[in-house]
Chain A
Amino acid sequence: MYTGGVSAAAGSVVCELCPRMCELAPGRRGDCRIRANLDGKLTALTYGLPCSVHVDPVEKKPLFHFLPGTPILSIATAGCTLHCRNCQNWEISQANPEDLDVAALPPEDVVALARRTGCPSIAYTYTEPLAYFEYTLDASARAREAGLRNVLVTAGYINEPPLRELARVTDAANIDLKFMSDRLYREVCDGTLAPVLKAIELSKSLGVWVEVTNLVIPTLNDSDDALRDVARWIRRTLGPDTPLHYSGFHPQHRMRNLPPTPADTLRRARQIGLAEGLRHVYAGNVTVEDGETTHCPACRKPVLRRVRFEVVERHLAGGACGWCAESIAGVWK
């Protein structure tokens, strides 16, 4: 449960899962709402109790370089380690678990359901899979044993030891890099930047296939400099083959005062990302022509063309461009 490493007052426990390090008095729960101190024991309240279970296209995560065109069983429980004012899924991520209808789905049933629905992989997504860590870990381990793959869709707000443990059974992750500004992380998400950068870098170094999403919010992080900072950090730290998804913002939750991201902004973002040397830069959540197409970095012809979440054109042969045979980075089979 990642507790016990830090001393706490009598009867209290410190949850050492995420950088918040919540100290929980008896009967209290953590900032994520789903980890509680019951009888001096840190307890995961939503273990095996997902509030959302769906089969999605893997492109919806978004993962564009991981088993394209396949379905992925996607599950979530209540709770999140961050509290973004713009959260698109706030109705479940910022909810107390007792306020949501749930299904009882222990890890072995998650795997059975993935098989029954023809999914080669399972995504822990929608809210924050690192908050319901034990459930994610156990389901992932069982999925691995069954020959299935595991995907995290996460904000990456976690401490290093649990991330190292989870990475052993994780195949791919889409990690949000919301801002390159610690101030904005604090003001908008009630979090901090450094742990997220560390989690992205560590995931990559531990062999997880990583794609990064940057939500572009008008007036907050839509300047050329802000867009460039994200792309530059990714290229320098993770390498030019790391896919970057610039994603459109929609007014939600506690940030309804800002307008949706214009398509032109996302077009500009994509150009900036490509100019910074990234080979695969996408624009999503808003319709942008060719924004979701994978181009061959050598011949620039379309290798995978997508409309919404569907692959409608495929020129990929064994992980290489079907036009010029250039290798395309990703997990293709």
Chain B
Amino acid sequence: MKRRVFLRSLAAAAAGTAAGGAAGRPVRWSRARAGRGVARRILPLDPAAVLRPARWAG
């Protein structure tokens, strides 16, 4: 059940951007992880990070 609730919040965020919603309102989503203090979020885009080549391959 937790996972399903979570998936809905993620899908809602994706639907928000699909509908032209902007960043801004940080959405903190939580699963079991949140209990361990590791909640992942929608963050504002970091312009400095954008201008660096990624550490990822490709």
Per-residue 0/1 for B17-49: is the Cβ within 8 Å of any A Cβ (1 yes, 0 no)?
110111110000101010000001111110001
B26 to chain A, nearest CB (A): 9
Chain A residues within 8 Å of B54, by CB: 52, 54, 56, 74, 126
Flag if A106 contacts B18 (CB, 8 Å): yes
Closest residue to A56 on the B side, CB-wise?
B53
Query: Are A54 and B11 in contact (CB-based, < 8 A)?
Result: no
The answer to whether B56 touches A104, judged by C-beta atoms less than 8 angstroms apart, is: no
The answer, among A60, A76, A88, A103, for a CB contact under 8 Å with B45, is A103
Which one, A92-100, A190-198, A235-243, A266-274, is touching chain B?
Answer: A92-100
CB–CB B6/A104 < 8 A: no
Q: What residues of B have a CB within 8 angstroms of the CB of A36 in the complex?
A: 7, 11
**Interface contact A104-B40, CB-CB below 8 Å:** no
Does A45 contact B17, Cβ atoms closer than 8 Å?
A: no
Beta-carbon contact of B57 and A104 below 8 Å: no
> Do the beta carbons of A49 and B43 come within 8 Å of each other?
no
Q: How many residues of B contact A (CB 8 A)?
A: 36
Q: Beyond A44-B14, A104-B17, is A117–B56 a contact (Cβ under 8 Å)?
A: no
Chain A residue total in the interface (Cβ 8 A)? 45
Does A46 count as interface, using CB distance less than 8 angstroms? yes
In the complex the two chains form, what is the Cα distance from A174 to B31 in whole Å? 36
B40 contacts A113, C-beta separation under 8 Å: no
Is B56's CB under 8 angstroms from A49's CB?
no
* A54 engages B14 (CB within 8 Å): no
Contacts of A126 in B (CB 8 A): 54, 56-58
What CA separation (Å) do A117 and B43 show in the bound complex? 20
Given contacts A55-B53, A103-B23, A105-B17, contact A97 B58 (CB under 8 A): no
Which of A54, A73, A92 is within 8 Å of B52, CB to CB? A54
Complex formed: what's the CA distance from A226 to B37 in Å? 48
1/0 per residue A108-136: CB within 8 Å of B?
A: 11000100010000000110000000000
Residues on B with C-beta less than 8 A from A99 are 33, 40
CB-based contact B58/A60 at 8 Å: yes
Q: A54-B50, A98-B31, A99-B40 are in contact. Are A104 and B58 (CB under 8 A)?
A: no
**B14/A55 in contact, CB under 8 A:** no
Contact A48 B18 (CB under 8 A): yes
A89 to B42, CA, bound (A): 21
> CB-CB contacts of A61-100 with B at 8 A, as 1s and 0s?
1000000000001101000000000001100100001111
| Residues in A neighbouring B45, C-beta threshold 8 A | 53, 103, 105, 113
A-B pairs, 8 with minimum CB distance:
A48-B17, A104-B23, A54-B54, A88-B57, A47-B14, A106-B17, A126-B56, A103-B45
Identify 13 residue pairs between A and B in the complex whose beta-carbon atoms are under 8 Å apart, listed by A's number: A38-B8, A45-B11, A55-B50, A88-B57, A89-B58, A97-B10, A98-B29, A103-B23, A103-B42, A103-B44, A103-B45, A106-B21, A106-B22
